[in-house]
Chains A and B, each alone.
Chain A
Amino acid sequence: DTGVSQDPRHKITKRGQNVTFRCDPISEHNRLYWYRQTLGQGPEFLTYFQNEAQLEKSRLLSDRFSAERPKGSFSTLEIQRTEQGDSAMYLCASSLEGTGRFYTFGSGTRLTVV
Chain B
Amino acid sequence: DAKTTQPTSMDCAEGRAANLPCNHSTISGNEYVYWYRQIHSQGPQYIIHGLKNNETNEMASLIITEDRKSSTLILPHATLRDTAVYYCIVRVGGGADGLTFGKGTHLIIQP
Contact = CB atoms under 8 A, between A and B. Distances in A.
Interface of A: 4, 31, 33, 35, 40-46, 48, 50, 55-56, 58, 91-93, 97-98, 100-108
B94 to A, nearest CB: 6
A33 B43 contact: no
Contact of A101 (B41, B42, B49, B102): B49
A58 B101 CA distance: 14
Closest 6 CB pairs of A and B: A105-B43, A42-B101, A45-B98, A100-B93, A43-B101, A105-B44
Interface of B: 32, 34, 41-46, 49, 85, 87, 89, 91, 93-104
Contacts of B42: 105, 107-108
A93 B43 contact: yes
A108 B98 contact: no
Given A42-B103, A45-B100, 7 more contacts: A42-B104, A46-B98, A56-B98, A102-B49, A103-B46, A105-B42, A105-B44
A108 B41 CA distance: 8
Given A100-B49, A100-B94, A101-B49, A4 B100 contact: no
The secondary-structure label for the interface of chain B is loop
Contacts of B102: 42
B4 to A, nearest CB: 11
Contacts of B44: 43, 91, 93, 103, 105
Contact of B99 (A41, A103, A106, A107): A103
11 contacts: A40-B103, A43-B101, A44-B101, A56-B96, A58-B98, A92-B43, A93-B43, A101-B49, A104-B46, A105-B44, A106-B43
